[in-house]
């Protein structure tokens, strides 16, 4: 089965699923476009799913949409703030960026989850969860209608991040510590407010805290316990620590069996952020003339838990590889069929199963591509079989009728005449001229062929 690094236990562990694996992924906050750094996180859950399904394990996936409750440092809801800035309603803004996110993930061949609940449509689940935590003594209500989780009632807090409760310090400035809290590390489950994104509760009108959303949705759609929880490394603390405390306190057991995190993506050596001006969207990659799946290929060149520095040179190299492999697969498709190169396929699948060693898998595929002892038909079958995990659309060019660039037809005819006249120097010159137009010419006993 798949072996994968568990952030909480700090070791690579083998998944031991039953008939299905249940997996939760923290989804986007839909107030802006997702950049390619965000999208790398979602490739992680897609790879896990594809590897498991190749091993005949069903995957039930849930990924939330945060359209309420994610606050700025100033305490303003990010969705509300951006809606005001763009002159849209909150609903219009959230649906616009949710659709953009879905389009981006589809362009990267990320399979949609079975459940994709919106926070704004599952408020009742959150209210029920908060009420249960209050009843069990893990949360408390203060006079203004705020509800806080009492972190000191959860002794194992910090197992994911390594942050011990007794070592946690108050907020950046002493005066910013909320006097309503029993302990400075407690966090809000519910916040009092009036306005568009608010709901009535037994504690008053308001909206949910960000952390409680994922607990409520994962418990509702996956149950307890479930197998995998994925997300970016930046969510490890405090989001996932708080989520684990809420879920375990409510369910009375360890809810998540394995916590799996993807590392940060840098661009040109810096963290991708609006403040540094180096945000790259998938639309920017397409506008540069690159296939969007070049982004997926570039990500596959690095282990998911390895920090990656993406550059335009990296993306262009990945684009060339994707296009070359599609051309090779189309070329191999013209050869007689042959069984897969099983030794190579097994090595690639072993790399996938070994903590998603995608760089190792790609090295084996390049070795197979160059191995002249393997029949072209076997290469064709092997690459298409493994593309079910790679998802690079390697069969895209198979069966397409090739179209010659302008002027290439006349050059091919001239080269035919040169070969008939045994003017090999002229034939070689014309071959080079055709290559400059992107036409590859090969000589066979039956005559010249081209791709």
- 3-state DSSP of 54-123: HCCCEEEEEECEECCCCECCCCCEHHHHHHHHHCCCHHHHHHHHHHHHHHHHHHCCCCCCCECCEHHHCH
Residue 73 β-bridge partners:
none
Lookup: tokens for 152: 């000191």
User: Was 214 annotated as part of a binding site?
Assistant: yes
| 191 labelled binding-site residue | no
Please check if 261 is assigned to a binding site: no
Q: How far apart are CA 227 and CA 431, in angstroms?
A: 57
Of how many residues is the chain composed? Answer: 451
Q: In terms of Cα–Cα distance, which of 284, 231, 291, 280 is closest to 256?
A: 231
List, in sequence order, every residue forming a beta bridge with 335; answer none if it has no partner.
none
| Sheet with 147-149: strands ordered across | 139-141, 147-149, 187-192, 206-208
Residue 302 CA to its chain's centroid (Å): 13
Q: What is the spatial distance between Cα 275 and Cα 253, in angstroms, rounded to a whole number?
A: 41
Q: Exposure string (b/e) for 110-146, b if CB count within 10 Å is 16 or more?
A: beebebbbbbbebbebbbebbbebbeeebbbbbeebb
The residues pairing with 229 across neighbouring beta strands, listed in sequence order, are 24, 259
3 state SS of 78: helix
Sign of the torsion angle spanned by Cα atoms 93, 95, 97, 100: negative
Q: Report the sign of the C-alpha dihedral through residues 406, 408, 413, 418, in that order.
A: positive
* Residue 26 labeled ligand binder: yes
- Determine whether the annotation assigns residue 274 to a binding site: yes
Distance, in Å, from the CA atom of 422 to the CA atom of 425, rounded to the nearest integer, reads: 9
Return d(Cα 8, Cα 241) in angstroms, integer: 10
In terms of Cα–Cα distance, which of 272, 251, 235, 264 is closest to 25?
235
With a CB cutoff of 8 Å and minimum separation 6, the contacts of 45 are 23, 25, 61, 63, 230
Distances (CA, A) of 67 to 143, 162, 376, 426: 27, 30, 50, 66
Annotated binding site for ATP: 274
Residues annotated within a binding site: 26, 214, 239, 243, 274
Q: Which residues make up each annotated binding site for Zn(2+)?
A: 26, 214, 239, 243
């Amino acid at each position: 089965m798949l072996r994968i690094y568990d952030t909480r236990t700090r070791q690579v562990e083998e998944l031991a699923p039953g008939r299905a694996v249940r997996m939760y992924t923290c989804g986007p906050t839909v107030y802006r476009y997702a950049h390619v750094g965000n999208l790398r996180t979602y490739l992680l859950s897609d790879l896990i799913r594809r590897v498991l399904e190749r091993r005949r394990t069903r995957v039930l996936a849930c990924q939330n949409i945060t359209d309420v409750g994610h606050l700025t440092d100033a305490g303003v809801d990010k969705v509300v703030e951006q809606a005001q800035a763009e002159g849209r309603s909150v609903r219009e803004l959230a649906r616009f960026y949710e659709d953009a996110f879905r389009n981006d993930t589809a362009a990267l061949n990320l399979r949609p989850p079975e459940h994709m609940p919106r926070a704004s449509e599952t408020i009742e689940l959150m209210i029920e969860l908060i009420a249960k935590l209050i009843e069990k003594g893990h949360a408390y209500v203060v006079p203004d209608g705020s509800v806080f989780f009492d972190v000191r009632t959860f002794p194992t807090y910090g197992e994911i991040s390594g942050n011990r409760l007794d070592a946690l310090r108050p907020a950046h400035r002493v005066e910013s510590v909320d006097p309503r809290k029993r302990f400075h590390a407690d966090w809000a489950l519910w916040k009092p407010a009036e306005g568009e994104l608010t709901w009535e509760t037994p504690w008053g009108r308001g909206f949910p805290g960000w952390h409680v959303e994922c607990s409520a949705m994962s418990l509702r759609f996956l149950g307890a316990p479930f197998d995998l929880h994925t997300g970016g490394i930046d969510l490890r603390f405090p989001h996932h620590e708080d989520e684990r405390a809420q879920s375990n306190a409510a369910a009375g057991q360890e809810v998540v069996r394995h916590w799996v995190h993807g590392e940060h993506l840098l661009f040109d050596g810096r963290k991708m952020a609006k403040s540094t001006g180096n945000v790259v969207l998938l639309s920017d990659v397409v506008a540069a003339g690159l296939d969007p799946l070049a982004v997926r290929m570039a990500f596959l060149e690095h282990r998911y838990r390895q920090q990656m520095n993406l550059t335009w040179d990296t993306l262009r190299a990945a684009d060339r590889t994707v296009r070359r492999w599609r051309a090779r697969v189309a070329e191999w498709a013209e050869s007689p069929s042959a069984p897969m190169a099983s030794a190579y396929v097994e090595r690639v699948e072993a790399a996938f199963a070994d903590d998603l060693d995608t760089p190792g898998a790609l090295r084996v595929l390049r070795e197979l591509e160059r191995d002249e002892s393997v029949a072209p038909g076997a290469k064709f079958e092997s690459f298409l079989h493994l593309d079910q995990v790679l998802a690079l659309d390697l069969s895209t060019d198979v069966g397409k009728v090739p179209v010659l660039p302008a002027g290439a037809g006349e050059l091919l005819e001239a080269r035919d005449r040169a070969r008939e006249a045994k003017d090999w120097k002229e034939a070689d010159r014309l071959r080079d001229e055709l290559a400059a137009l992107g036409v590859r010419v090969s000589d066979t006993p039956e005559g010249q062929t081209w791709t």
